[in-house]
């Protein structure tokens, strides 16, 4: 499958290098096994997610915290989405 087709499938508008940098920034890495390259999440990121989810479930059971979920648009300064520099 060519890169252009893959880009259309995920709706990504940037270039290949931009996507590579973004994936690396959020904790993914390329590995090779038996001549095949694949993308995997770094173990340290997976452990952080597990710790977060455990704490989140603990807070839910206790009922001591109120959770507010924000759309990712507002995570970055002025909602511009410029946070991956």
pLDDT per residue as tens digits for the range 11-27:
777 888 888 888 888 88
Please report whether residue 84 resides in a domain: no
Q: Write down the H helix ranges in 1-85.
A: 3-10, 16-25, 43-62
**Whose CA is closest to 40, among 23, 52, 60?**
23
pTM above 0.75, yes or no: no
What residues does 7 pair with on adjacent strands?
Answer: none
Domain total of the chain: 1
Residue 56's domain comprises 3-79
Predicted pLDDT at 4: 54
pLDDT in tens, 37-84: 888 888 888 898 899 999 999 999 999 889 887 666 555 555 555 555
Please report whether residue 85 resides in a domain: no
C-alpha to C-alpha distance for 82 and 55, rounded to whole angstroms: 29
């Amino acid at each position: 499958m060519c890169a252009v087709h893959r880009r259309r499938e995920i709706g990504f508008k940037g270039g290949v290098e931009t996507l590579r940098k973004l994936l690396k920034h959020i904790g993914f890495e390329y590995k090779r096994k038996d001549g095949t390259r694949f993308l995997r999440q770094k173990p340290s990121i997976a452990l952080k997610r597990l710790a977060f989810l455990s704490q989140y479930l603990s807070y839910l059971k206790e009922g001591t915290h109120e959770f507010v979920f924000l759309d990712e648009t507002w995570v970055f300064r002025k909602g511009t989405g410029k946070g991956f520099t």
